[in-house]
Amino acid sequence: MAETLRSSAQTMMAAEQIIPPPPAFAAQALLGSHSAFVKRWQDSVENSEAFWAEEAAELLSWEKTWDQLFVDQGECRFHWFSGGMLNASYNCLDRHLTSRAHKTALLWEGEDGSERSFTFRELRDLVAQFAQGLAAKGVKQGDVVTLYMGMVPELTITMLACARLGAAHNVVFAGFSAESLGARIGDANSALLITADVCYRRGKEIPLLAISREALQQCPDVRELIILERAGSPPLPQSSSGEHLLFPPQGGASHFRESSWQETLELAKGQQHPAVAVPSEQPLFMLYTSGSTGKPKGILHSTAGYLLGATLSCRYVFDLNDRDIFWCTADQGWITGHTYGLYGPLSLGASVFMYEGALDFPDWERVWRMITRHRLTIFYTAPTALRAFIKQGPDRPRAHDLSSLRLLGSVGEMINPRVWHWFYHTVGGERCPLVDTWWQTETGAAMVSTIPGAVGSKPGSAGYPLFGIDLQVVDENGSEVARGSQGYLVITRPWPYMMRTIVGDHQRFIDTYWRQLPGCYFTGDFARRDADGYVWILGRCDDVINVSAHRISTMEVESLLVAHPLVAEAAAVGVRDALTGQQLQCFVSLQPRVSADSSTREALIAYIVRSIGSFARPREVVFVESLPKTRSGKIMRRILRDKAEGREASGDLSTLES
Ligand code: PRX
């Protein structure tokens, strides 16, 4: 622990001045001053049941309200809003039709500049119709549907159609390989995969259909692949039975049939599936993320609790109102895209902007042009993107009319004060509050942030715990450390929008999150709290690294490498990188008689990319005779990290193998 904390020391050199909250934000009228916020926060944790009940009743529409707000069933089975019934797609769409039917719900821009937009009524109709099409194919409450579609409006439609039926969606980021996709389909027990023929990135077609077909070779239980056609595919082959067999499987028989997304929709023309009221705890979705062991974890979220967190944080942290157009630059294949690219804003009746493609394509002005053109009001992005913008010429945003922006947000990694100030001054023109938001796939929605209008920001600090969230910074024994000292960040009690379990492995959920320091949710992050109660995140304390705000498990990479026939032993570490935060570096000792040359190196890199996805490409693969180990045989990753970051190997080397 000390070692990681030492390496994070520079991150805390921030001047701890508070940037005062700007006026004219809803929370200001509601909460008033910072001290009024702290008082309300205190009340929200001391009387948390009353707080959650009040917010859930106000922010969500229920078919039936709950009988019991919180039940701890033992073995870390936490139930919220028991007895309540609701539907997430109803909350995001139908309930807005009385006042917002003709308001834009979703505005989309493709990488080629094409645009599509959908009003709340149009989106509701498409979602209800597609839900009917899915129901006709046998999808029902409790099923799991995997989506591998890229960033298209049909992804949003499909996610909400699943929610409408009470089926859980399992969105897989389009950067994942066939192997990773197959593993996620299998682990989630999903019988249906929905994909697109292609998606577009940096002007290139990504062959999602080919990847999906390859993935399904390892998924014998999948019975159908639904394909959204985007690339001007040839006319559909008609089967004699009138079945919609599209793209008949290449190369002979297959265990799954293929059909078209558009036809699934068409078949249900004129029919609308009603929103099925489901119990509060009905799984809304699962999302796979890297853990500190090799196997990715399927993080399962509930309907009511999750939706409450998404909606509540949009209300307080993003101050969303009816005129807002919210752009969360995260891909919908990650939790940030789920919570702030879809559920939170739509639940509050705000418009969302969705962009397919790379932020720097065809040039670095793209982002500023889109903000200007669509008059976007909230811009929520990751520090890795901001660092890249700064590098491309810090004054470029000034050449654009960004006056539509009224709030900025940051997520995914620590935003250092230099980058914070650039974002605040150059993009926000000192007019827009900048909220950092700390949270995780597991937490469902923001947990630490500042509330514009009520709570000022400290550049470099994630902010203050949000309402109803009680956290502590503790030592190895779980005792709270003094203010200003560093330790493990824990959440001291369950909250409604937390994950419910790891798919298929509840014991791992208990062990990973609730047993490390008994009684608390263990975040896996180091942090400190300053005298004002602000939280400063110092990085991960486990084997998860953060590359461009993407989580990668070094253990997953290591277990892949050691399974490769050329490799005898391997270690993977995260090394600091000015642009991406961290990068992956691998140390490999090869099997006898394998030559340590560039073709072996390329083969191993290609293997990692094929096995996980291109975002896991190591910056370097270093060949070594042997790996440094302790006497008990543990690889000493600290020494490898020191070496990778150009430092003298530090610490006690006496246990090193000679
Ligand atoms: O280490 C923290 C870092 O990202 C981890 C969660 O990653 P993921 O589940 O992929 O979710 C990312 C987006 C919610 C955390 O354990 N992290 C996230 N936000 C911040 C952060 N580190 C510092 N500051 C943040 N604002």
Structure tokens at 611: 């096995």
Which residue puts its alpha carbon closest to atom 8 of ligand 1? 440
Write down the pLDDT at residue 13.
Answer: 40
Q: Which atom of ligand 1 lies closest to the CA of 446?
A: 14
Q: Which amino acid is at 21?
A: P
Q: What is the CA radius of gyration of the chain?
A: 24
| pLDDT band of 16, cuts 50, 70, 90 | low
Q: Which atom of ligand 1 lies closest to the CA of 524?
A: 16
Is any ligand 1 atom within 6 A of the Cβ of residue 341? no
Compute, in angstroms, the gap from residue 386 CA to the centroid of ligand 1: 16
Query: Among 115-129, 237-251, 379-393, 529-543, which stretch is predicted with the lowest mean pLDDT?
Result: 237-251
Q: Which atom of ligand 1 lies closest to the CA of 441?
A: 9
φ/ψ region of 618 (left if φ > 0, alpha if ψ in -120 to 50, else beta) reads beta
* Residue bearing the bigger pLDDT, 641 or 105: 105
Contact 462, 528 (CB under 8 A): no
If one residue of 410, 551, 580, 582 were mutated to test the ligand 1 pocket, choosing by the most ligand atoms within 8 A of its CB, it would be 551
Given a cut of 80, whether residue 404 has pLDDT beyond it is yes
Write down the pLDDT at residue 241.
Answer: 44
Can you list the positions of beta strands (E) in 290-427? 297-302, 325-328, 351-355, 378-381, 407-411
Contact 224, 216 (CB under 8 A): no
Quote the mean pLDDT of the chain. Answer: 90
Q: Which pairing describes strands 351-355 and 104-109: parallel, antiparallel, or unpaired?
A: parallel
Is any ligand 1 atom within 6 A of the Cβ of residue 462? yes
Q: Rounded CA gap, 363 and 380, in Å? A: 20
Contact 336, 309 (CB under 8 A): no
Given a cut of 50, whether residue 261 has pLDDT beyond it is yes
Compute, in angstroms, the gap from residue 653 CA to the centroid of ligand 1: 33
- Residue 302 burial by CB count (10 A; 0-12/13-18/19+): exposed, middle or buried? buried
Compute, in angstroms, the gap from residue 439 CA to the centroid of ligand 1: 5
DSSP per-residue codes, 294-316: SS-EEEEEESHHHHHHHHHHHHH
Q: Rounded CA gap, 65 and 508, in Å? A: 32
Is any ligand 1 atom within 6 A of the Cβ of residue 546? yes
Write down the pLDDT at residue 240.
Answer: 42
* Residue bearing the bigger pLDDT, 10 or 466: 466
Is any ligand 1 atom within 6 A of the Cβ of residue 525? yes
Contact 303, 281 (CB under 8 A): yes
Q: Which atom of ligand 1 lies closest to the CA of 539?
A: 1
Which residue puts its alpha carbon closest to atom 18 of ligand 1? 412
Given a cut of 70, whether residue 655 has pLDDT beyond it is no
CA dist list (Å): 91 to 86, 497, 611 = 8, 16, 38
Is any ligand 1 atom within 6 A of the Cβ of residue 449? no
Contact 470, 529 (CB under 8 A): no
Neighbouring C-beta atoms of residue 322, cutoff 10 Å: 12
Which residue puts its alpha carbon closest to atom 19 of ligand 1? 412
Structure tokens at 185: 């389909």
| pLDDT band of 628, cuts 50, 70, 90 | confident
Residue 558 phi/psi, 5° resolution?
Answer: -60, -45
φ/ψ region of 510 (left if φ > 0, alpha if ψ in -120 to 50, else beta) reads alpha
Q: Which of 390, 357, 380 is nearest to 579 (CA)?
A: 390
CA dist list (Å): 498 to 162, 443, 446 = 21, 5, 10
Is any ligand 1 atom within 6 A of the Cβ of residue 11? no
Write down the pLDDT at residue 244.
Answer: 46
Q: Rounded CA gap, 412 and 439, in Å? A: 8
Given a cut of 70, whether residue 514 has pLDDT beyond it is yes
Query: Among 240-254, 398-412, 449-463, which stretch is predicted with the lowest mean pLDDT?
Result: 240-254
Q: Which of 605, 542, 526, 614 is nearest to 574 (CA)?
A: 542
Q: Rounded CA gap, 115 and 196, in Å? A: 18
**Per-residue H/E/C for 159-188:** HHHHHHHCCEEEECCCCECHHHHHHHHHHH
Q: Rounded CA gap, 509 and 391, in Å? A: 40
Write down the pLDDT at residue 253.
Answer: 60
Is any ligand 1 atom within 6 A of the Cβ of residue 261? no
Which residue puts its alpha carbon closest to atom 6 of ligand 1? 440
Q: Rounded CA gap, 247 and 209, in Å? A: 10
Compute, in angstroms, the gap from residue 436 CA to the centroid of ligand 1: 11
If one residue of 335, 440, 534 were mutated to test the ligand 1 pocket, choosing by the most ligand atoms within 8 A of its CB, it would be 440
For residue 386, what are the contacts with CB-CB under 8 A and spacing of at least 6? Answer: 410, 415, 419, 422, 423
Q: Rounded CA gap, 569 and 588, in Å? A: 6
Q: Rounded CA gap, 186 and 180, in Å? A: 10
Is any ligand 1 atom within 6 A of the Cβ of residue 338? no
| pLDDT 10s digits, 410-442 | 999 999 999 999 999 999 999 999 999 999 999
Eight-class DSSP state of 282: S
Compute, in angstroms, the gap from residue 546 CA to the centroid of ligand 1: 8
If one residue of 438, 461, 538, 550 were mutated to test the ligand 1 pocket, choosing by the most ligand atoms within 8 A of its CB, it would be 438
- Residue 649 burial by CB count (10 A; 0-12/13-18/19+): exposed, middle or buried? middle
Q: Rounded CA gap, 308 and 343, in Å? A: 10
| pLDDT 10s digits, 532-555 | 999 999 988 888 888 988 889 888
| pLDDT 10s digits, 59-99 | 999 999 999 999 999 999 999 999 999 999 999 999 999 99
Is any ligand 1 atom within 6 A of the Cβ of residue 542? no
Given a cut of 50, whether residue 9 has pLDDT beyond it is no
Write down the pLDDT at residue 259.
Answer: 97
Query: What is the residue extent of each domain of the chain?
Result: 548-644
Which residue puts its alpha carbon closest to atom 14 of ligand 1? 440
User: Average pLDDT, stretch 504-516?
Assistant: 96
| pLDDT band of 2, cuts 50, 70, 90 | very low
Q: What is the CATH number of domain 548-644?
A: 3.30.300.30
Which residue puts its alpha carbon closest to atom 7 of ligand 1? 440
Is any ligand 1 atom within 6 A of the Cβ of residue 412? yes
Q: Which atom of ligand 1 lies closest to the CA of 330?
A: 13
Given a cut of 70, whether residue 225 has pLDDT beyond it is yes
Is any ligand 1 atom within 6 A of the Cβ of residue 436? yes
Given a cut of 90, whether residue 237 has pLDDT beyond it is no
Which residue puts its alpha carbon closest to atom 5 of ligand 1? 440
DSSP per-residue codes, 9-26: GGGG----PPBPPPSS-H
Is any ligand 1 atom within 6 A of the Cβ of residue 299? no
User: Average pLDDT, stretch 500-517?
Assistant: 96
| pLDDT band of 8, cuts 50, 70, 90 | very low
Write down the pLDDT at residue 74.
Answer: 96
Q: Rounded CA gap, 33 and 45, in Å? A: 19
User: Average pLDDT, stretch 593-604?
Assistant: 95
Q: Which residues pair with 474 in a beta bridge?
A: 480, 488
